[in-house]
Structure formats: C-alpha cells, structure tokens
Chain A
Amino acid sequence: QVQLAQSGAEVKKPGASVKVSCKASGYIFTSYHISWVRQAPGQGLEWMGWISTYNGNTNYAQNLQGRVTMTTDTSTSTAYMELRSLSSDDTAVYHCARVDPTGDLIDYWGHGTLVIVSS
C-alpha cells in the first residue's frame, strides 16, 4: 500500500532552517510527483509547493519563494523540504503528499512532521 513516512518532530530557533524528509513506498516513486502542504495550529491547509520526482522541476507558493527548497533522492525514494529563515509563523505540521501522474490531484498524504519555532 502507498505510504509516505516522514521524519520526526523538530524544534528550531528563529532564523534557523529545517529539513523534513518523506520516504515513499508502495508505488513507483518517479511515476508520481510530490507536494508539500502545511497546517499551522488550529488553521487550515496551506499548499507550499510541488516537485517533479521525474526531473526535479519545482513550483513554489509565492509567499515562500526564496525561503523554501524541495528536492528528491530517487535512489532512496525520498523527498525533502527545506525551509530557511524560520519565524514563529512557520510553526506548523508539514505534510508531504503524492500528486498523481496527470499532475492535478493530491491523493495520498504523509502523517505530517511537527516543526516548532521558538526562542
């Protein structure tokens, strides 16, 4: 079955960076894309960006441009999301999610990684 296993919770200080991993299994990694979505405490879902696992092309949400980098390692079927210059506003659960080959549907989700930004 499709599984997206994410790395564990992180606590970071303002100004630091965080890198979250997402290891895929149960399907052919390069046949589907990956999106990252975050959820601040008590808030809704916010789409962060998309990466093609086939060629590494990316598209980031405008409000995160310059602070976020998404990458993949096809040898280990793992996707990564790095967010820099953290502030308390970045405290959230970060989910990776699978995007179907047609590129228009987010279907399976990882359980999420809690990132707390606090001094």
Chain B
Amino acid sequence: QSALTQPRSVSGSPGQSVTISCTGTSSDVGSYNYVSWYHQHPGKAPKLIIYDVTKRPSGVPDRFSGSKSGNTASLTISGLQADDEADYYCCSYAGIYTWVFGGGTKLTVL
C-alpha cells in the first residue's frame, strides 16, 4: 500500500485560508468516504480533526473543513491562527481493516 501524497509544506498568514491536498488511488481515497485528517504538534499525539471526509469531531472549530473529489481529498483551514501551526496528516481506509496515511504536511503560520 503506497502512502497518500501530500505537499511537504504549506504556509499562510494569520486570518488567511490554506488548503492541503491528499492524493490517493481508486483503491483507497477514491473507493471510500472514510478519509480522516489529523494534526500533530511537536512531541504530541496526532489529534483527529476531520473524519468521513467532511465531519468534525465535537470540539473542533468549523474553521476546519474537508472535501473530496475523485482520488483527492482536501483539508481547508480558514481564519488561520498561530496555534494551527503543526503537521497535518490525511488517512484513508483502504478496505478489510487496512489504512493508508499521507506523508504529512508542515503548516507554517507566517
């Protein structure tokens, strides 16, 4: 199972919006509406911020939104804040209790 493809880094100024893409294949992202996104601050555990492509867990602000088209999923963060600076990972269910992750994207808030 090959890793999902994410940009290595993205950046934006406070208040702006950024979008992180996550490209898979017809065997994972394209086949299932089970794409999730996590952010990870240095030294911390990953935290779920989006699941089932578009859903937000309780407590996650609506500045975070997800979408999918074909084999590519996207995470958009609007109204950037300093604390959003972290590593972001996408993940797709790939069938029969298997998952595949993206390589991660470092978000820098300028």
Q: A47-B99, A47-B100, A111-B45 are in contact. Are A104 and B57 (CB under 8 A)?
A: no
Task: Tell me if A9 counts as interface (CB < 8 A to partner B).
Answer: no
Task: Tell me if A75 counts as interface (CB < 8 A to partner B).
Answer: no
- The answer to whether B34 touches A104 (Cβ under 8 A) is yes
Interfacial chain B residues near A104, Cβ < 8 Å: 32, 34, 93
List, sorted by A's number, 6 A–B pairs whose CB atoms are closer than 8 Å. Answer: A44-B3, A45-B89, A50-B98, A103-B97, A106-B36, A111-B44
Identify which of A46, A61, A95 contacts B45 (C-beta below 8 A): A95
Interface residues of A in 103-118 (CB under 8 A from B): 103-112
- The answer to whether A95 touches B46 (Cβ under 8 A) is yes
Q: Is the interface of A mostly helix, strand, loop or mixed?
A: strand
Interfacial chain B residues near A112, Cβ < 8 Å: 45
Q: A59-B96, A61-B1 are in contact. Are A109 and B103 (CB under 8 A)?
A: no
Bound Cα distance from A97 to B46, whole angstroms: 10
Residue count of chain A within 8 Å CB distance of chain B: 25
Bound Cα distance from A32 to B57, whole angstroms: 17
Q: Which residues of A contact B (CB under 8 A)?
A: 33, 35, 37, 43-47, 50, 59, 61-62, 95, 97, 99, 103-112
Interfacial chain B residues near A110, Cβ < 8 Å: 45
User: How does the 8 Å CB contact mask read for B21-48 relative to A, with 1 for contact and 0 for none?
Assistant: 0000000000010101010000011111
B52 to chain A, nearest CB (A): 7
Q: A95-B45, A111-B45 are in contact. Are A44 and B102 (CB under 8 A)?
A: yes
Q: Which chain B residue shows the least CB distance to A60?
A: B98
B42 to chain A, nearest CB (A): 12
Q: A44-B3, A44-B103 are in contact. Are A109 and B97 (CB under 8 A)?
A: no
With most chain B CB atoms within 10 A of its CB, the pick from A44, A59, A109, A111 is: A44
Task: Tell me if B104 counts as interface (CB < 8 A to partner A).
Answer: yes
Interfacial chain B residues near A47, Cβ < 8 Å: 1, 91, 98-101
Bound Cα distance from A103 to B93, whole angstroms: 9
